[in-house]
Structure formats: structure tokens, C-alpha cells
Amino acid sequence: MFYRDERLALFIDGANLYAAAKALGFDIDYKLLRQEFMRRGKLLRAFYYTALLENEEYSPIRPLVDWLNYNGFAMVTKPAKEYTDSMGRRKVKGNMDIELTVDAMELAPHVDHIVLFSGDGDFRPLVESLQRKGVRVSVVSTIRSQPPMISDELRRQCDNFIELDELRDVVGRPARENADQDENVN
């Protein structure tokens, strides 16, 4: 439930939202997403959190980061750490949970409602703390993927769970992979 006069802030866990949308078979149109939440209340800030591989010449996420930065999103990035696991596989680690949590706690006195785009159960204590400060918290993720992308604890803690699949018609566009497949079929 949203009230048109409430002050809103969006906190987007980029990797988590990307994985949830991909599991549902669509891409997020961030311009439409921002417009949708501007319609639902007084949108004060829209934060997007992601880790970036600094040493690669081309990062597939760089164009998105640049576009978001120029189109009303507050970008929070940090270099991803690259390492090799015990099986010799190259892994990338870039957890943004602490940055998102600190920003949400700092902004809490200035907003009525925070919308968290993540299903990560590590955010349950953050949601609980925000609620103690009088902030309502909605969480956007999905239970329709296999496995579900939202932790049960986070879903139980938030004031309002928004199924990402139900936002598909409002903020989604067909996944690029599908578009490439469609072109190959014709």
C-alpha cells in the first residue's frame, strides 16, 4: 500500500534484482520503474548498488551504470574482488549489503516509506530497524521463480511484499536473450 503524499526512497540491490528479473524471463526498464514509483508517492531518492570489475576493458554493466547515473539514480559502486576458489574456478565477489544498509539508516529520518529491491535475508535486521524508526518497508522480489528469490524471513518482516512478476507489465521489457532468439527464428 502506497500513499501519494508519503516520501519514498528506492534501494535497489542491482545484482539481486537482475537475478530475479532474469529468473522470471524479463529485463527491467529503469526509466519505467522510476516513473512507477514517482506515481506512487513523492520519490526523494532512487539508489542503485552494484560492484564493478575495474580491471576489465569492457564491463557489460557499465552502460547501465552510466545511463542510471544520468537519469535520476544515485549510483553506489565499488570495485568487485576477483579470486580463484578451491576448485580453480574464477569467482567475483562484490557484496553491497553494508553500503545499502548504512544509506538506508541515514535516510530513514527523512522518508516515510522505503522500497527495497532485494530478496536477500541478510536485510531482515535492516527492515526491522527501519520499522522501529517508523519507516514502512516494502520489499520487491519474487516467489514465482524456482527456487524463490526472496528469503522467508525477509518476506515475513517487511510491511508489504511486492511480487516482481506482477510489475512485469509496468516496468518490464522482454529479455534481450529472447529478442536475439526471436531474430534468429525469423
Ordered mean pLDDT values, 10 residues apiece, the chain (186 residues): 95 95 95 97 97 74 91 93 83 87 98 98 98 98 95 98 97 68 34
| C-alpha count within 13 angstroms, C-beta hemisphere, residue 72 | 14
The pair phi, psi for residue 88, each rounded to 5°, is: 85, 10
Q: Which helix (H) or strand (E) holds 171?
A: helix 168-171
**CATH number of the domain encompassing residue 102:** 3.40.50.1010
- Could you report the per-residue pLDDT of 40-51, keeping only the tens digit for each? 999 999 999 999
- Does a structural domain hold residue 112? yes
- Does a structural domain hold residue 2? no
What is the domain count for the chain?
Answer: 1
Task: With 0.85 as the threshold, say if the pTM is over it.
Answer: yes
State which residues form the domain around 146: 7-79+91-171
- Does a structural domain hold residue 177? no
Omega of the bond prior to 148 within 30 degrees of 0, cis? no
User: What strands lie across the sheet with 42-52, from one edge to the other?
Assistant: 74-79, 42-52, 7-13, 113-117, 136-141, 160-163
- Could you report the per-residue pLDDT of 132-170, keeping only the tens digit for each? 999 999 999 999 999 999 999 999 999 999 999 999 999
- Does a structural domain hold residue 179? no
- Does a structural domain hold residue 85? no
